[in-house]
């Protein structure tokens, strides 16, 4: 596209360094000079900086132009035709021993591709806000109370008011019963807790709401029983005073079938919340838990 090259194509999508055309005894070769040089020969992409052989009759797509390779005895090619679907490229064509081709006629301005219009975001209004100012306008003198100023101030409100709402109501984020779901894991980090996918949202909120009390009673029979009740939804029976039990051993009996819960996670909960010097036996009643059965049935709508 710059003066001094052998083939000059005047188009805003043709940049400075794009293509080298070499003519020698071995034939004709073209080499794209830039990785952005989107060049095609007969509708096939040519990699950058890799010479490609062309022959008479081939069509070379260079930006919005189509160049035809013709032999000495063939008719003169038509003027390059703009192709608006081609991508942005840049061109420098250097001829070899075969001479140079005359530059094509400059493209008229009305054929130059116009820039795409900007996207329309007029219908995308933040939640809880409107197209016009709902708060800040009252702090301005009455002379500024017009439609343009109201819409302009509305843009500022769309940025700052959601942040102000979060700051004014941040106490709701710290309450496990009102905090957003994505915030529960962060609160759990205060107590060193980590939830897996088996914990429902209701179970997580309940445990975090009682975490302060449970940690104060950690290692006790009461705290362990309540923790297992939150996870399973059933009150366990913990026996530690049986005459036939081994010393420092207690039994945890859950009124549900083993297949209706996650035994591995239950054992992890018991290990983390029992007295460190004790052992335990985990038992299940083996009875059918109708609540679990009904929860897994799909009766449809």
Q: What's the pLDDT at 46?
A: 79
Using alpha carbons, select from 247, 231, 233 the residue that is nearest to residue 280: 247
Percent of the chain with pLDDT over 90: 23
Q: What's the pLDDT at 94?
A: 42
pTM here is 0.47
Domain ranges within the chain, ordered by starting residue: 14-105, 121-168, 181-296
Using alpha carbons, select from 228, 239, 300, 229 the residue that is nearest to residue 271: 228
Q: What's the pLDDT at 1?
A: 53
The structure tokens listed for 111 are 């054929």
Q: What are phi and psi of 88, to 5 degrees?
A: -70, 130
Q: What's the pLDDT at 230?
A: 92
Cα angle 104, 109, 113 (rounded to 5 degrees) comes to 95
Residue 39 to residue 45: CA distance in whole angstroms: 6
Percent of the chain with pLDDT over 70: 70
- pLDDT band for 97, please (50, 70, 90 cuts): very low
- pLDDT band for 17, please (50, 70, 90 cuts): low
Average pLDDT score over residue span 70-78:
61
- pLDDT band for 95, please (50, 70, 90 cuts): very low
- pLDDT band for 290, please (50, 70, 90 cuts): low
pLDDT higher for 117 or 286? 117
| Domain 14-105, CATH | 2.60.200
């Amino acid at each position: 596209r710059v003066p001094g090259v052998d083939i000059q194509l005047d188009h805003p999508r043709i940049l400075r360094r794009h293509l080298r055309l070499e003519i020698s005894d071995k034939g004709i070769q073209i080499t794209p000079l830039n990785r952005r040089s989107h060049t095609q020969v007969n509708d096939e992409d040519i990699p950058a900086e890799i010479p490609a052989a062309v022959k008479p009759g081939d069509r070379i797509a260079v930006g919005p132009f189509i160049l035809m390779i013709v032999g000495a005895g063939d008719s003169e090619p038509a003027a390059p035709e703009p192709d608006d679907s081609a991508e942005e490229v840049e061109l420098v064509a250097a001829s070899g021993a075969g001479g140079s081709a005359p530059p094509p006629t400059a493209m008229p301005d009305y054929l130059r591709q116009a820039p795409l219009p900007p996207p329309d975001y007029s219908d995308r209004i933040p939640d809880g806000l409107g197209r016009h100012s709902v708060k800040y306008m009252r702090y301005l003198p009455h002379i500024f109370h017009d439609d343009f100023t109201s819409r302009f101030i509305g843009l500022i409100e769309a940025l700052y008011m959601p942040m102000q709402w979060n700051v004014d109501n941040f106490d709701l984020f710290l309450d496990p019963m009102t905090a957003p779901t994505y915030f529960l894991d962060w609160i759990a980090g205060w107590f060193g807790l980590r939830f897996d996918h088996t914990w429902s949202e209701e179970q997580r909120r309940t445990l975090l709401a009682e975490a302060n009390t449970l940690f104060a009673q950690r290692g006790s029979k009461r705290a362990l029983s309540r923790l297992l009740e939150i996870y399973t939804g059933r009150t366990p029976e913990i026996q530690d005073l049986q005459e036939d039990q081994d010393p420092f051993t207690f039994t945890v009996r859950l009124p549900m079938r083993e297949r209706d819960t996650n035994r591995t996670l239950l054992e992890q909960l018991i290990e983390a919340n029992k007295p460190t010097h004790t052992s335990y036996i985990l038992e299940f009643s083996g009875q059918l838990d109708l609540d679990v059965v009904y929860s897994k049935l799909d009766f449809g709508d």
